[in-house]
Amino acid sequence: MGGISSLLGGIALLGFLLFIAGVGFVVVSASQGRPVRNGIMLAIVGVVVGVLFSVVSQGILIVEPQQRAVVFQTLSGELEVPRGPGTSIILPVLQQATIYDISLQEYTVASTAEESTRRGDDAVQVRTVDGQEVLIDATILYRISPVGDSVNTVHRLWQQRYVEQFIRPVLRGFIRDVISNYRAEAVYSSARTEIQTQITELLAERIAEDGFELSDFIIRNVTFSNVEFSNSIEQVQIAERRALEAQFRVQQESQEAERVRVNAQGQRDAAIARAEGEAESIRIRAIAEAEALRLVSEQIAANPSLIQYQYVQQLAPNVSVILLPSNSPFLFDFESLAQANPNFTAPELLIPESSQLPSLVPTPTPTPTP
pLDDT band at 349 (very low <50, low <70, confident <90, very high): very low
- Find all residues with CB under 8 Å of 119, minimum gap 6, and list them: 113
Torsion-angle region of 221 (φ positive above 0: left; ψ -120 to 50: alpha; else: beta) = beta
Residue 353 CB-half CA count within 13 A: 1
Does residue 347 surpass a pLDDT of 50? yes
Percent of all residues in the chain with a pLDDT value above 70, rounded to a whole number: 72
Instruction: Measure the CA–CA gap between 92 and 107, rounded to whole angstroms.
Output: 35
Kindly report, residue by residue over 187-222, the tens digit of the pLDDT: 877 788 999 999 999 999 999 999 999 999 999 988
The arithmetic mean of pLDDT across residues 104-120, rounded, is: 89
Kindly report, residue by residue over 28-83, the tens digit of the pLDDT: 777 777 777 777 787 787 777 777 767 666 777 889 999 999 999 999 989 999 99
Torsion, Cα 189 194 197 198, to 10 degrees, reads -120
End-to-end CA distance of the chain: 155
Q: Which domains does the chain show, CATH number per domain?
A: 2-101 (no CATH), 105-225 (3.30.479.30), 316-350 (no CATH)
**Of the listed ranges 167-171, 260-264, 312-316, the one predicted with least confidence:** 312-316
The arithmetic mean of pLDDT across residues 152-173, rounded, is: 95
Instruction: Measure the CA–CA gap between 63 and 65, rounded to whole angstroms.
Output: 7
Does residue 340 surpass a pLDDT of 80? no
H-helix segments, the chain: 2-31, 37-59, 150-157, 162, 168-179, 184-188, 192-208, 227-302, 306-313, 334-340
Q: What letter does residue 112 receive in the DSSP assignment?
A: S
pLDDT band at 319 (very low <50, low <70, confident <90, very high): low
Can you say whether the dihedral through the CA atoms of 137, 142, 144, 145 is positive or negative?
negative
What predicted TM-score, i.e. pTM, was given to this entire model? 0.54
Q: What letter does residue 159 receive in the DSSP assignment?
A: G
